[in-house]
Amino acid sequence: MTDVVTEVLPATGDPEELLRNSQTNTAAVHIDLGLAWEWEYDADFIDKLEHACGRNDLSFCLITPTNVADVTGRYFKEKLAFRSFLDRGSDARREFEPLARLVAAGGTRIINHYRHLKRCLDKATMHLEFITAGLNVPYTIILSPYQSEPEIKIADLARLGRSFIIKPAVGAGGTGVVVGAETLAEVLVARQSQDDQKFLLQEKIEPVLIGGERAWFRVYYVFGQTFLSWWNDITHIYRHVELKEENEFYLSPMRAIITKIARISRLDFFSAEIALTADGRFVVVDYVNDICDMRLQSQNPDGVPDRLVDEIVAAIVNKV
> Per-residue pLDDT for 268 more than 50?
yes
25 vs 78, more confident: 78
Q: What is the pLDDT of residue 10?
A: 40
Per the domain annotation, does 276 fall within a domain?
yes
Least Cα distance to 200 among 287, 124, 145, 283 occurs for 124
> What would the pLDDT profile of 276-287 be if each residue is shown by its tens digit?
999 999 999 999
221 and 197 in a single domain? The answer is no
Label residue 64 left, alpha or beta by phi (over 0 means left) and psi (-120 to 50 means alpha).
Answer: beta
Residue 8 pLDDT greater than 60, yes or no: no
Do 44 and 73 lie in one domain? The reply is yes
pLDDT at 171: 76
Could you give the CA distance from residue 3 to residue 10 in angstroms, rounded to a whole number? Answer: 22
CATH number at residue 195: 3.30.1490.20
Q: Rounded to an integer, what is the distance from CA 279 to the centroid of its chain?
A: 29
Q: pLDDT tens across 31-50, in order? A: 999 999 999 999 999 999 99
In this structure, the number of other CB atoms found within 10 A of the CB of residue 255 comes to 16
Name the band, by pLDDT with cuts 50, 70 and 90, for residue 266.
very high
- Rounded Cα distance, 300 and 270, in Å: 20
DSSP 319: H
C-alpha distances (whole Å) from 71 to each of 8, 14, 84, 140, 187 are: 17, 14, 15, 44, 45
Residue 14 is predicted with a pLDDT of: 54
Asked if residue 133 is part of any domain, the answer here is no
Long-range contacts of 180-185 (CB under 8 A, 24+ apart): 180/204, 184/154, 184/157
Residue 7 pLDDT > 80: no
Domain span at 222:
206-306+315-319
Question: How many residues does the structure list for the chain?
Answer: 320
**Minimum mean pLDDT among 3-12, 84-93, 306-315: which range?**
3-12
- Tell me the pLDDT of the chain averaged across its residues: 89
Q: pLDDT band for 1, please (50, 70, 90 cuts).
A: very low
On whether both 234 and 165 belong to a single domain, the answer is no
Residue range 75-118, pLDDT digits in tens: 999 999 999 999 999 988 999 999 999 999 988 999 999 989 88
Q: How much is the pLDDT for 27?
A: 65
End-to-end CA distance of the chain: 24
DSSP string, 226-287: EEEEEE-TTT--EEE--HHHHHHTT-THHHHHHHHHHHHH--SEEEEEEEE-TTS-EEEEEE
In a domain, 128, yes or no: no
Assign 57 to helix, strand or coil: coil
State the virtual CA torsion across 274, 276, 277, 281 in degrees, nearest 10: 90
Instruction: Judge whether 174 lies within some domain.
Output: yes
Domain with 90 in it: what CATH number?
3.40.50
Number of domains in the chain: 3
What's 260's domain CATH number?
3.30.470.20
Give residue 24's pLDDT band: very low, low, confident or very high (50, 70, 90): low
Closest among 45, 38, 85, 30 to 65, alpha carbons compared: 38
Residue 19 has pLDDT above 80, yes or no: no
Phi, psi of 235 (to 5 degrees): -90, -20
Confidence of residue 121 (pLDDT cuts 50, 70, 90): confident
Average pLDDT over residues 171-197: 86
Q: What is the pLDDT of residue 159?
A: 85
What lies within 8 Å, CB to CB, of 198 at 6+ separation is 122, 124, 142, 143, 144, 145, 168, 169, 170
